[in-house]
Amino acid sequence: MIKLNEETKKVLLALSDDKGIYLEGNILKIIDTSDDPTFDAYIKQSIEKDNEKRTKRLEITKQVQEQNIELIKSKGEKDEVNKQLQKALEKAEQAKESAVNDLELMQKKAQFELIGTIVKVALWIVCGIGVVTTGMFMICLSLGIENQIIESAWSNMFGILLTNSFSIIGTIMGVKYASDRLDKKS
Amino acid sequence: MIDSILLIDDENLFHLVFEDACSLLDITLNLKTLSSADEAAKYFKNLVETKQKKPDCIFVDLNIIGSTFNGIELIRKINFDYGDGVVIGIISSSNDKQEQTNAMKAGAQFWIIKSDEIEPRLSEFKKDFDGFVKRKLKFKVYA
Amino acid sequence: MNFYIKNNIYITMENINDYISNSEELLKETSLISKADKFGKITYANEKFCEISGYLFNELIGQDHRIVNSGVHNKEFWRQMYETIIKERKLWHDTVTNKNKSGELYYVKSWIQGVFDENNNFSGYISIRQDVTEIIKSKNEIDRKNAYLEHAAKILRHDMHSGINTYIPRGISSLERRIPEHLIKEYKLEFPIKMLKEGLSHTQKVYRGVYEFTNIVKQNAELTKSLFNLKEILDDFFRTTAYKDQVIIDNLPTIFVNDALFCTAIDNLVRNGLKYNDSDTKYVKIYMENDCLIVEDNGRGIDCNEFDYLSKPYTRKVGQKESGTGLGLNICVEILKIHGFSVSCEKLHKGTKLKINL
């Protein structure tokens, strides 16, 4: 036990009276207050206040500890949820990509088919005109009717047909090839 | 009042809890805290070699993160390797029976369960302390 | 400089430092170590001590060392110990019987030293012990069994003695006296009576051999010897055996022997020579050669290494088709050793030559 001198005791008592400042900490438990009831009362009061603070601090520390435990737990849960979300996101991305791929393929297929149809129709028209013109030319020839207009129309048409035949055939072949590829892809 | 206590626990917040609880319950005025078992082993070995005064009571956490060995192994070292029968035991949130048996074999005298009800357990321990010093009390779990 | 430490651990000066630094661990693992204060209260016990004594660390610390006292040793024993340690300040060493927590006895070789403080006052004890329970238990077992064997031998000697040496000889001589001569001749009883007498004589000799042998296995027994001519006693011994014609005995010296035991030993060698023998005409010759008694047979033959091996108790040659206990040769060699004779063996082209150095 430690003994404080009278001057120190006076200062401490004055501090508590004037400014409400009290000693704190474990030192209070080893101060000798025998033969001084006033100082003894002061020490008891200081201990009471110190205990109040300690109790409050203890409660808060415990709460912080609990919250920490909760936070760590939640963080763990959050991390778990994040992981699952990440997985779901990745799956969605993959699904979208495959859907987009399918759509593109379908569009391309449709385009090629359209081109194919157009070319086929054009071919039929050209062939049809050719057949009709040839027919008419033949009738004129057989009947001996004036056929200069039909002759020039027929020779022009066959000339265009022959000169462009390769590009028409090439277009048809290309369309056919592209369609086959699309079919294989889909 | 216990003259001096050494607490070994990796949770710094628990150091504060323990310090305030000890002060409020008049358990000790002299508390030293360490955060790793390796540090504690070195500290204790040094005390023994330099013949300094050892703590009257040692509280050891069961799982001390960042240490190469756990609380039970630390207790075994202090008792068997450094040759000292101090009052020593475990303070942990675990209540595992197998671990308690292992602790007893290593020379631990008590096991205090950590929770927000720590004060009544420490109060009871304070009453039993003398019995532990005189080796009259058997291994006790404060739950 | 090289040297041996106990238990044949061989170390050199170069690696002694490694040995010393590792020896602390070795000591803790193999020895029971404890410390006590000046009042005898245990202040430290290592894990080995806890394991052997059955007590937990906390059950030992603070307890009086008498916690492991078995009560076997008297006060004088402990008084001497305290005097050696405290008064004479010397290291005390002895084998101590202790008791574990379950009440079972265990035995430890103990070395206890006193600890003295800066003012040279006695302050405590430090003890190092080695667990020798298994060794002591085995020794006790052997002693117990020896005692039983001795007791059995006593009974054998006592119960058989009167029959062989009193009743049967008296019965035969009484029979001879009472049956008239003409009836013996009429019923041709000479041969059966002769067989009875010779059978009895041989049995008496064998019994004497067993008697003498059981005497020497007693503790602190001494061999009784007298001056005998070896040829005479061997001739007399073999005369009543079925294989007397197969034993050829040359001139032999007169020496101090225990006749019954010596004949038993030579008989064993002769019987071995005839038993382990595949020749058409089996024989054993006994003669002298340069102060050695030779027992030579024409059997299968064994060399000196085999002989040394078979001289050990309960050993037999591997794959031996003949029956046997494996003790005969061992007992024979022991008898000759007690007489102070050494035995060596030489394998011949056909047979074995045993040399007994007299």
CB distance C44 to C35 below 8 Å: yes
A53 near B CB under 8 A: no
Q: Which of B13, B21, B24 sits opposite A65 (nearest CB)?
A: B13
Per CB distance under 8 Å, which residues of B are interface residues toward A? Answer: 11, 13-14, 16-17, 20-21, 23-24, 26, 29, 116
Q: Tell me which H or E stretch contains C97.
A: strand C92-99
A73 near B CB under 8 A: no
> In B, which residues are within 8 Å of A61 by CB distance?
13, 16-17, 20
CA distance B21 to chain A (A): 7
pLDDT average, residue stretch C323-350: 84
> In B, which residues are within 8 Å of A65 by CB distance?
11, 13-14, 17
Q: Which of B11, B17, B26 sits opposite A58 (nearest CB)?
A: B17
Q: Which of B80, B84, B109 sits opposite C58 (nearest CB)?
A: B109
pLDDT > 90 fraction of chain A, expressed in percent and rounded: 28
Question: Is residue A20 predicted with pLDDT exceeding 60?
Answer: yes
User: What is the three-class DSSP state of C32?
Assistant: strand
Alpha-carbon distance of B50 to B2, in angstroms, equals 23
CA angle C178, C182, C184 (to 5 degrees): 65
* C109: β partners: C95, C130
Model confidence pLDDT, tens digit, residues A123-151: 788 778 778 878 887 888 888 776 677 77
CB distance B118 to B20 below 8 Å: no
- Looking at every residue in chain A, the average pLDDT score rounds to 84
Number of B–C residue contacts, CB under 8 Å: 31
Question: Is residue A41 predicted with pLDDT exceeding 90?
Answer: yes
Question: Is residue B17 predicted with pLDDT exceeding 70?
Answer: yes
> In C, which residues are within 8 Å of B134 by CB distance?
62
Query: What tokens appear for A30 in the block?
Result: 């080893």
Residue among C24, C43, C55, C58 with most chain B CBs within 10 A, to mutate: C58
pLDDT average, residue stretch C47-65: 93
The predicted pLDDT at position C11 comes to 44
The predicted pLDDT at position A182 comes to 67
Question: Is residue A157 predicted with pLDDT exceeding 80?
Answer: no
**CATH number at C223-358:** 3.30.565.10
| Domain range annotation of chain B | 5-142
Which amino acid is residue A178, in one-letter code? Answer: A
Summary count for chain B: helices (H), strands (E):
5, 6
Residue among B20, B61, B65, B93 with most chain A CBs within 10 A, to mutate: B20
C101 near B CB under 8 A: no
| Domain range annotation of chain C | 31-131, 134-222, 223-358
- Looking at every residue in chain C, the average pLDDT score rounds to 85
**CATH number at B5-142:** 3.40.50.2300
pLDDT > 70 fraction of chain C, expressed in percent and rounded: 91
The predicted pLDDT at position A169 comes to 74
The predicted pLDDT at position B107 comes to 94
Model confidence pLDDT, tens digit, residues C212-250: 777 766 655 677 889 999 999 999 889 888 888 999 999
CB distance A30 to B29 below 8 Å: yes
Q: Is there a contact between B17 and A66 if contact means CB atoms under 8 Å apart?
A: no
Count up the domains in chain A and report the number. 1
Q: Is there a contact between B116 and A51 if contact means CB atoms under 8 Å apart?
A: no
Chains A and C touch (3+ CB pairs under 8 A): no
Q: Is there a contact between A54 and B29 if contact means CB atoms under 8 Å apart?
A: no
- Tokens 């699309």, residue located: A182
C317 compared with B25, residue with greater pLDDT? B25
Instruction: Give the pLDDT band of residue A1 (cuts 50, 70, 90).
Output: confident
The predicted pLDDT at position C56 comes to 93
Question: Is residue C296 predicted with pLDDT exceeding 90?
Answer: yes
CA distance A94 to chain B (A): 42
Q: Is residue A1 part of a domain?
A: no
Q: Is there a contact between C58 and B84 if contact means CB atoms under 8 Å apart?
A: no
Q: Which residue of A has its CA nearest to B12?
A: A65
Q: Is there a contact between C62 and B139 if contact means CB atoms under 8 Å apart?
A: no
Query: What tokens appear for C106 in the block?
Result: 């265990």
Model confidence pLDDT, tens digit, residues C163-222: 888 888 898 888 888 988 888 889 888 888 888 888 888 888 878 877 777 776 665 567
> In C, which residues are within 8 Å of B105 by CB distance?
56-57
Residue among B48, B76, B79 with most chain C CBs within 10 A, to mutate: B79
Q: Is there a contact between B85 and C56 if contact means CB atoms under 8 Å apart?
A: no
User: What is each CA distance from C309 to B67, C317, C318, C327, C345, in whole angstroms?
Assistant: 60, 9, 12, 12, 12
The predicted pLDDT at position B72 comes to 95
Q: Is there a contact between B17 and A65 if contact means CB atoms under 8 Å apart?
A: yes
The predicted pLDDT at position A10 comes to 92
Alpha-carbon distance of A62 to A73, in angstroms, equals 16
Q: Which of A26, A54, A64 sits opposite B29 (nearest CB)?
A: A26
Number of A–B residue contacts, CB under 8 Å: 30
CA distance C318 to chain B (A): 52
Question: Is residue B12 predicted with pLDDT exceeding 80?
Answer: yes
Q: Is there a contact between B85 and C35 if contact means CB atoms under 8 Å apart?
A: no
Q: Is there a contact between B23 and A62 if contact means CB atoms under 8 Å apart?
A: no
> In A, which residues are within 8 Å of B10 by CB distance?
none
Q: Is there a contact between B105 and C35 if contact means CB atoms under 8 Å apart?
A: no
Instruction: Give the pLDDT band of residue C5 (cuts 50, 70, 90).
Output: very low
**CATH number at C31-131:** 3.30.450.20
User: What is the residue range of A146's domain?
Assistant: 6-185
User: What is the three-class DSSP state of B61?
Assistant: coil
DSSP annotation string for B72-95 = HHHHHIIIIIS----EEEEEES--
- Weakest-pLDDT range from A49-58, C45-54, C215-224, C252-261: C215-224
CA distance B3 to chain A (A): 13
pLDDT average, residue stretch C326-353: 87
Instruction: Classify C326 in phi/psi space as left (phi over 0), alpha (psi -120 to 50) or beta.
Output: left
Q: Is there a contact between B20 and A61 if contact means CB atoms under 8 Å apart?
A: yes
Model confidence pLDDT, tens digit, residues C10-50: 444 445 555 555 677 777 788 999 999 999 999 999 999 99
Question: Is residue C251 predicted with pLDDT exceeding 60?
Answer: yes
